[in-house]
Amino acid sequence: MNIPVPTLTRKVSDLEDQLGTKLLTRTTRKLTLTDAGEAYVATARRILELVDEQEREAAGEFTTPRGELVIATSMLFGRLYVLPEVIRFLALFPDINVKIMQSDRNVDLVDARVDLAVRIGNLPDSGMIATRIGSFRFVTCASPDVLSRQGVPQHPHELANMPCVMFTGPMLSPYWRFRSPESGEYTTVDVVPRLQVSSPDSAAEAAMKGVGFTQLLHYHVADAVAAGKLRIVLEEFEAEPVPIHLVHVSRNLMPLKLRRFIDFVAPRLREALSKLNA
């Protein structure tokens, strides 16, 4: 905000004096909110949301689909699925501008002023409104060359002694999970990766080049599987598919730009995901 630190410190101190309570606990290393500070911030955010909502209503966003729409999505899913639909949406609504925030880590919708987010995985309990659009399988795969050298594993525990490529993204654990087809119970395999990468594209590429087995979401490797560059193994041991939702903050009134986008994109994404899982 381009405010000098001493000025900001003085303003916070003045606010604490005015309220007669401490909002922050200060140490030499960091600042943390007190209980009173937490409550004050929560109330202030609600007030700012109301002000923002009134400004949008005054600007006509609740009567005419217009304004900027901010969408948060993961990097690869955003590029493969969200961006093509946004481009089509823009052609239909010339008064709406779209900002896509692509990150493989979830952002706070309120703090980041995000209208809509795509969430892959189980949702925590919250006040968000969620629209389910599909699900993704966790798949384990390898190149034909690796399978010819190592053999096709018949049980997940065999992977502990095979070369593996691990994607260390926020969606995945440092071990691979599988579900028994007989009992439905989950088991984990603590693989020792020959290569660790921080993007699914890199994990898929390394697997295609014969480095080893990898475990990713199905859409990460769908094209490579279709082209025969990777083969899915241990399908009967796959864990439950992870759901995919469109989520947005609950408000009394929803701007028409958001309603129009959800109505437009939800059925198209459902169709695309159902074809992928067919």
Query: What's the whole-number average pLDDT of the chain?
Result: 88
Using alpha carbons, select from 263, 245, 268, 270 the residue that is nearest to residue 69: 263
Q: How many residues does the chain have?
A: 278
Is the pTM value of this prediction over 0.75? no
Edge-to-edge, what's the strand order for the sheet holding 231-233?
Answer: 195-197, 164-167, 213-217, 138-142, 231-233
Chain segment 229-277, per-residue pLDDT in tens: 999 999 999 999 999 999 998 665 678 899 999 999 999 999 999 988 7
Q: What is the structure's pLDDT at 119?
A: 93
CA end-to-end distance (rounded Å), the chain: 49
Q: Are 237 and 180 in contact (CB under 8 A)?
A: yes
Q: What is the pLDDT of residues 124-174, one digit of tens each?
A: 766 788 999 999 999 999 999 999 999 999 999 999 999 999 998 765 566
Among 59-73, 97-111, 259-273, the range of highest mean pLDDT: 259-273
Domains (ranges, CATH) in the chain? 5-57 (1.10.10.10), 66-134+242-277 (3.40.190.10), 138-237 (3.40.190.10)
In this prediction, what percent of the chain has a pLDDT beyond 70?
Answer: 91
pLDDT at position 231 is: 97
pLDDT at 228: 96
Are 80 and 89 in contact by the 8 Å Cβ rule? The answer is no
Which amino acid is present at 276?
L
Dihedral sign for Cα atoms in the order 246, 248, 252, 257: negative
Q: Which helix (H) or strand (E) holds 144?
A: helix 144-150
pLDDT tops 70 at residue 63: no
